Structure 1
Amino acid sequence: MLNRWNPFEFGNGAVVAGPLMRDFDQLFQELAGQATRQGRELAPATDIYETESGVTLQVDMPGHDPKAIEVKVEKGVLTLRSERKADATAKESARRLERGFGVYTRSFKLPDTVDTSKVEARYENGVLTLAMPRKEESKPRVIEVKVQS
């Protein structure tokens, strides 16, 4: 029977570099996670609903200070920005940190039918809800069909 040659394996089947490779993988994953938390902007998960009366966005932003969330509408683009900061004491004693920390930013091109002067924002249980009503002239209108006899 032929066996595939593995340069990291002794003749008895013991793998020398297995733990070493696992340690390198873990190191690179941790470094990538730190880059996510420290310098790169993160995009929060968002659900978008459209009805006859307008558009609603629900944005997951748990752990964000509601007073620090910035909602801006400019030239038909809605931009959300917030920063979730890591707890300094938790960093010292943490064995593993998986939740992302840093600047969260997300932009959306709004349809022309949205009345940007009437956008309302509400933050509840870690979810930012944005209600954006339609302009009156863009709302669907039902036209009655007249029957002539």
Structure 2
Amino acid sequence: MTGLQTLNGSARRLASAPTYGDPFSLISRDFDRVIGSIFGDRAAASKLQADGQEAAKTLLSPRIDIHEADDHIELSAELPGVEQDDVDVSVLEGVLTITGEKKSARESSEGARIVERSFGSFKRSFRLNDTVDVDNITASFKNGVLVLTLPKVAEQKPEPRKITVSG
């Protein structure tokens, strides 16, 4: 087991499929979108917007890969469309937290026919165990991927101690 334990998901996943919700509600939403675009139904458009906001909460949870080596753990988070300045990484009381926000390029959705991209804030937290050196964690951000390197504390191998025998 790595030196991480996720606080908002399963304990350990190597690969997972994205969670998009109930497929029948997605079909219904798509049908409403088509009907609304043909007849200009405002009610269907507002329902679509509400469903889209609910789906955005699910979709904005960044996908994380965790790899462990002998001397460190590497955590990679996919953050497409997120600017480096909009990402914050912190450690408090043994919990590593990644927060951020994906901002919309447009100020309003006025005149939008279809909006499938998700916008909003996200947060992922991981409990660190004692093997992680929290004072030396490093982070880099390039091409929408945040890479955290969590060095492990050097193992203290017990040395035999010579005890003098008197008598």
Could you tell me the TM-score, scaled by structure 2's length?
A: 0.61
Deviation at 1:86, TM superposition (A): 1.2
Q: Give structure 2 stretches of 5+ with no counterpart.
A: 1-27, 36-43, 158-167
Give the whole-Å Cα distance in 2 for the aligned partners of 1:44 and 1:130: 14
Give the whole-Å Cα distance in 2 for the aligned partners of 1:68 and 1:30: 24
Deviation at 1:30, TM superposition (A): 4.2
Give the whole-Å Cα distance in 2 for the aligned partners of 1:53 and 1:68: 30
Q: Which residue of 1 aligns with 2:109?
A: 91
Q: Give structure 1 stretches of 5+ with no counterpart.
A: 1-18, 142-149
Greater C-alpha Rg: 1
Of the three residues 43, 62, 72, the one matched with 1:44 is 62
Q: Which residue of 1 aligns with 2:140?
A: 122
Q: Which residue of 1 aligns with 2:54?
A: 35
The count of residues paired between Structure 1 and Structure 2 equals 118
Q: Which residue of 2 aligns with 1:23?
A: 32
1:100-143 Cα deviation digits (max 9, x unpaired): 100011001112100000000000110000000100126xx7xx
Deviation at 1:24, TM superposition (A): 8.2
Residues 9-20 of structure 1 mapped to structure 2, 5 A cutoff: none
Q: 1:93 to 1:24 in 2, by over 3 A?
A: closer
RMSD (CA atoms):
2.8
1:58-107 Cα deviation digits (max 9, x unpaired): 00111112022110001111000001111225733432222210001100
Q: 1:31 to 1:69 in 2, by over 3 A?
A: same
Could you tell me the TM-score, scaled by structure 1's length?
A: 0.67
Work out the percentage of aligned pairs sharing the same amino acid: 36
